Structure 1
Amino acid sequence: MTEHLTHSLRSDAQDNRVRILEAAREVFAAEGLGVPMREIARRAGVGPATLYRRFPTKEALVTEVFTDQMCGCRAIVDEGCADPDPWRGFCLVIEKICALHALDRGFTAAFLATFPKAIDFTADRDYALSAIAGLARRAKDAGRLRPDFVVDDLVLMLMANDGIRAATPAARVAASRRFAALAIQAFRASPDAPAMPPPGRLSFAVPLGAG
């Protein structure tokens, strides 16, 4: 009897975890990270105490929700860096990163956020940006990427891509694909391209909203 009860409790706890993560993924993708934790608990069909027992902070929940996307982001960057043609690899990163972020509004906010208690998440972002900086240097050396490109331009691009609003996810991805093509044209080296204004300091800090 005791063994059966313990198994049932563990099964219920696992079911609660799955429901919480599914609800969080859905609401973050549609509405961003500002949705309160209590609303996530309501949509998951669990009490707030159950939610906080599994995920004591929103940072912990966000990190768990977007682990797969961060792995996907890292894979895209690695694929681009492995291309022997640095400009082609750079373009691949731009196109696929924009598409990945277009599918999930919350992921862009999570990618740009600073979570003091989620060191691994921050490390993944820093890895991606550092690798892209190296790829950009190679593309500049090849004469294909404009020499005044800085990594913050990529961050600025992600912020602008996150501003795309469309009636359906498919329309949002299509608009993002066009935006990526425009960005690539802007980043391409051209002898008659005017110099860009100096870059501004961008902040990796996105409020997560009330609990």
Structure 2
Amino acid sequence: MATAAIGRDDAVIRAAREVFAEHGMSAPITEVAQRAGVGVASIYRRYPSKNELVEQVRIAAFRLVIAEAEAARAEEGDPWRALSRFMHRCMREGSGIGTVLPQLEQRYAFSAEFRGLQQQVAELIEVLVEDAQRAGELRSDVDWTDILLLFKHLNPSLPTSESRRAELRTRYLGLVLEGLRSEGAALRGPAPGAAEWRALCDNRAE
């Protein structure tokens, strides 16, 4: 894909993430096109339905999570610093990770690409968590699913700029990281299982 086309595609994904998070699936594609600075027809040529566009927003987030997890493990010698860096980078301004998007139709079937990346995300985060737990730095009752669902809790839709939202995410992530330390009091309730996490990730009831 040419550089200009990639840039337009990235702009559409960013715009779609913002519009659907703000207005749900009822939002018109014209709003996405306006924010992205492209024509409506060009969006429909690339993404024939809103469901497919929302899936691509999630795929873009998966790819970023994977890149950040791989970089954190490769470049940080300390497992706690690797986990902390990973979470901070995923919450940085403009990342879009954790953005709460609308539910898709129950009959919508996610692509093989989506499912493959979803599984890769789970495996990489599990490794980061296990590394930090083996080092005695992360509490033993935290599961990899907890880390991923924290992204949703830390990135609510707020009526302010993305810059300010990113500042607030960083602030509250600092509090969360202190609670993840190994000496913390026992957590109440069980961690999400893999099936529950997948359903929540898909924005569907299990």
Give the secondary structure class of the aligned counterpart of 1:94. Answer: helix
CA distance in 2, matches of 1:185, 1:124: 29
Identify the residue that residue 132 of structure 2 maps to in structure 1: 139
Change in CA separation of 1:19 and 1:89 when aligned onto 2, cut-off 3 Å: closer
Q: Structure 1 residue aligned with 2:201, among 183, 200, 204?
A: 204
Change in CA separation of 1:139 and 1:18 when aligned onto 2, cut-off 3 Å: closer
Identify the residue that residue 14 of structure 2 maps to in structure 1: 25
TM-score by length of 1: 0.70
Give identity over the alignment, percent: 21
Q: Give the RMSD, CA atoms, in angstroms.
A: 3.4
Identify the residue that residue 6 of structure 1 maps to in structure 2: none
**Conserved? CA contact 1:103–1:169, under 8 Å:** no
Alignment pair present for 1:194 and 2:185: yes
> 1:101-160, CA deviations, whole angstroms, 9 ceiling, x for partnerless residues?
x6537x6346x9897232212322321221111121111111100011111211331121
Identify the residue that residue 64 of structure 2 maps to in structure 1: 72
Identify the residue that residue 130 of structure 1 maps to in structure 2: 123
CA distance in 2, matches of 1:46, 1:144: 50
Q: How many residues align?
A: 185
Alignment pair present for 1:94 and 2:84: no
**Conserved? CA contact 2:61–2:96, under 8 Å:** no
CA distance in 2, matches of 1:136, 1:22: 33
Identify the residue that residue 47 of structure 2 maps to in structure 1: 55
Give the secondary structure class of the aligned counterpart of 2:202. Answer: coil
CA distance in 2, matches of 1:20, 1:46: 13
Identify the residue that residue 7 of structure 1 maps to in structure 2: none
User: What is the CA distance between 1:66 and its match in structure 2?
Assistant: 5.5
Which protein, 1 or 2, shows the higher relative CO under an 8 Å CA cutoff with sep ≥ 6? 1
Identify the residue that residue 34 of structure 1 maps to in structure 2: 24
Change in CA separation of 1:171 and 1:54 when aligned onto 2, cut-off 3 Å: closer
Unaligned runs of 5+ in 2: 34-38
CA distance in 2, matches of 1:88, 1:181: 13
> 1:65-120, CA deviations, whole angstroms, 9 ceiling, x for partnerless residues?
555543322111001222221111011111111226x6537x6346x989723221
**Conserved? CA contact 1:140–1:146, under 8 Å:** yes
Aligned residue identity for 2:167: A
CA distance in 1, matches of 2:81, 2:10: 36
CA distance in 1, matches of 2:25, 2:72: 34
